[in-house]
Amino acid sequence: MSRISAYRNSYARLALGAMLIATPALATLDLRDYDDDLMRDLEKTIKYFEPDITAQNSQAAKEDAEVLLDGFRYTEDYFAKRGKDDAVAISRDGSRLIADVVAKVDKGEFDAAAASAREATQVCKTCHEIYKPRLAR
Ligand code: HEC
């Protein structure tokens, strides 16, 4: 599947500039020091994120948001050190969306917050599409 078509299907607006300069990165990125435990925490957290918002559980949603923000800050920093500007921009989009969710939860706008949370899930996928090695290749 082409990266471009996956990109068009999802998450079209936020990372346009970043995606256009995406380079074939898998060959050059050494992920041995990457924090997989953190990624698994993110995976667990993001599963609860939207349900917590929909249930109007502001406290839980904000705790989720903190974990997710930490995660996006980690990826921003990790990829910045390796000069991968596209992944840095993707990470910032993630942080921005999470901040947006928190702001909306604070205003009691739970539907809008849930929509932003879904977009945040797309951010994870966008980065994986480029940088996460696939087993079958
Ligand atoms: C900017 C890039 C980037 C972002 C953003 C990102 N990831 Fe990842 N993720 C990766 C990379 C790269 C790997 C592969 C790491 C490896 O192979 O060691 C990975 C691996 C994973 C894994 C597999 C870990 C394992 O067991 O080996 C999970 C689960 C995961 N990510 C979840 C998430 C979730 C959920 C989000 C969003 C909240 C997210 N990631 C955001 C880059 C990213």
pLDDT tens figures, 70-112? 999 999 999 999 999 999 999 999 999 999 999 999 999 999 9
Residue nearest to atom 1 of ligand 1 (CA): 87
d(CA 2, CA 95): 26
Residue nearest to atom 30 of ligand 1 (CA): 39
How far apart are the CA of 36 and the centre of ligand 1, in A? 7
How far apart are the CA of 132 and the centre of ligand 1, in A? 7
Residue nearest to atom 3 of ligand 1 (CA): 127
- Please give the CATH number for the structural domain made up of 3-131: 1.20.120
b/e sequence 98-130, b meaning 16+ C-beta within 10 Å: bebbbebbeeeebebbbbbbebbbbbbebbebb
The pair of structure tokens assigned to 89 is: 């921009």
Q: Are 120 and 49 in contact (CB under 8 A)?
A: yes
Model confidence at 7: pLDDT above 60: no
Model confidence at 46: pLDDT above 90: yes
d(CA 82, CA 1): 26
Give the number of other Cβ atoms within 10 Å of residue 40's Cβ: 10
The pair of structure tokens assigned to 27 is: 């060959």
Residue 116: the pLDDT is 98
Looking at per-residue confidence, does 46 or 26 come out higher? 46
Give 110's DSSP letter: H
Residue 127: the pLDDT is 96
| Residue type at position 59 | Q
Give the number of the atom of ligand 1 that is nearest the alpha carbon of residue 34: 18
Residue nearest to atom 28 of ligand 1 (CA): 39
* Closest residue by Cα to residue 25 from 94, 88, 84, 81: 84
Mean pLDDT (whole number) for 55-79? 98
d(CA 97, CA 118): 9
**pLDDT, mean over the chain:** 87
Burial class (CB in 10 A: 0-12, 13-18, 19+), 37: exposed
Q: Who lines ligand 1 at CB under 6 A?
A: 31, 34, 36, 39-40, 42-43, 46, 68, 71-72, 75, 79, 87, 90-91, 94, 123-124, 127-128, 131-133
Greatest Cα pair distance, the chain, in angstroms, is 46
Residue nearest to atom 14 of ligand 1 (CA): 132
Task: State what percent of residues in the chain have pLDDT above 90.
Answer: 74
Residue ranges covered by each domain of the chain: 3-131
